[in-house]
């Protein structure tokens, strides 16, 4: 397998699993073990957004750093908009909205890793 493919897979798994573990532990502490697991536990998009910052920090060219910070800011605004607007308009479809934001965020991180 190509090294870039391995880098992309590892770069996607680490923030995703970290976000899920953090969200699950946060839900466990706040609501207890008997509470049902909400779909927000599986929201990995914020972890992916901050992964883009980590990619930017490893770049040597200032132009690439600027592009990655711009990608981070746009992704963050998009995620905030999705959470503020879509969650309130379509409150019954939270799992679908989270899935959509996760797919977009994972795609952005995969492209960022591939291009770096």
* Per-residue pLDDT tens listing for the chain (116 residues): 788 899 899 989 988 999 999 999 999 999 988 888 888 888 999 899 999 999 999 999 999 999 999 999 999 999 988 888 887 888 888 888 889 999 999 999 999 999 98
- Residue 2 has a pLDDT of 86
Alpha helical stretches, state H, the chain: 3-31, 45-57, 62-81, 87-89, 94-115
Quick one: pLDDT at residue 84?
84
Would you state the pLDDT for residue 59? 92
- For the chain, the first-to-last Cα distance in angstroms comes to 18
Range of the domain at 24: 3-115
pLDDT computed for residue 86 by the predictor: 83
Q: How many folded domains does the chain comprise? A: 1
Location of structure tokens 């959470």? 83
- The pLDDT assigned to 77 comes to 93
The pLDDT of residue 71: 94
> pTM for this structure?
0.86
């Amino acid at each position: 397998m190509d090294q870039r493919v391995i880098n992309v897979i590892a770069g996607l798994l680490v923030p995703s699993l970290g976000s899920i573990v953090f969200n699950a532990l946060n839900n466990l502490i706040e609501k207890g073990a008997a509470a049902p697991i909400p779909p927000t536990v599986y929201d990995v998009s914020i972890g992916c957004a901050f992964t883009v910052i980590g990619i930017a920090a490893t770049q040597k060219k200032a132009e690439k750093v600027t592009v990655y910070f711009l990608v981070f800011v746009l992704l963050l605004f998009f995620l905030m908009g999705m959470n503020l607007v879509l969650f309130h308009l379509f409150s019954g479809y939270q799992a679908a909205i989270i899935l959509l934001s996760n797919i977009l965020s994972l795609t952005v991180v995969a492209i960022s890793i591939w291009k770096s």
